[in-house]
Amino acid sequence: SQTIHQWPATLVQPVGSPLSLECTVEGTSNPNLYWYRQAAGRGLQLLFYSVGIGQISSEVPQNLSASRPQDRQFILSSKKLLLSDSGFYLCACPRQEYGELFFGEGSRLTVL
């Protein structure tokens, strides 16, 4: 069965520091992968999606970037964090083509 692993689960970082959040998927090959962010008191917003290795689409302009170095690995990064980057970051992939999204446990980032 499909599983999504995200780490770290929680992270507290100072403003201006770099960021790397990792997502690894098991139980599927060549999945579409997605990064969503849930800001406090707000819904989820799609940040990036990837249909394959090295292929990244950005949905909103922001301070973050994404990379997909391997088929089942999706990384969210920043060179310099802003306070507004705080939130709950969720990695997701479809259970089947055009099926419902399956989410990881999330990474909670607090920027101070």
Residues 6+ apart with CB under 8 A from 20: 75, 76, 77
CA distance 112 to 61: 22
- Build a one-symbol-per-residue string for 6-35: x at contacts with another protein by CB under 8 A, - elsewhere: x-------------------------x-x-
Q: Is 58 a binder of another protein (CB under 8 A)?
A: no
CA distance 91 to 105: 8
Tokens for 69, please give them.
């170095």
Tokens for 83, please give them.
């306070």
User: Which one of 11-19, 60-68, 71-79, 93-101 is the stretch in contact with another protein (CB under 8 A)?
Assistant: 93-101
Question: What SS3 state is found at 58?
Answer: strand
User: Which one of 20-28, 65-73, 74-82, 103-111 is the stretch in contact with another protein (CB under 8 A)?
Assistant: 103-111
Minimum distance from residue 71 beta carbon to another protein (Å):
16
Instruction: List residues binding another protein (CB under 8 A).
Output: 6, 32, 34, 36, 38, 41-46, 49, 59, 90, 92-94, 97-98, 100-106
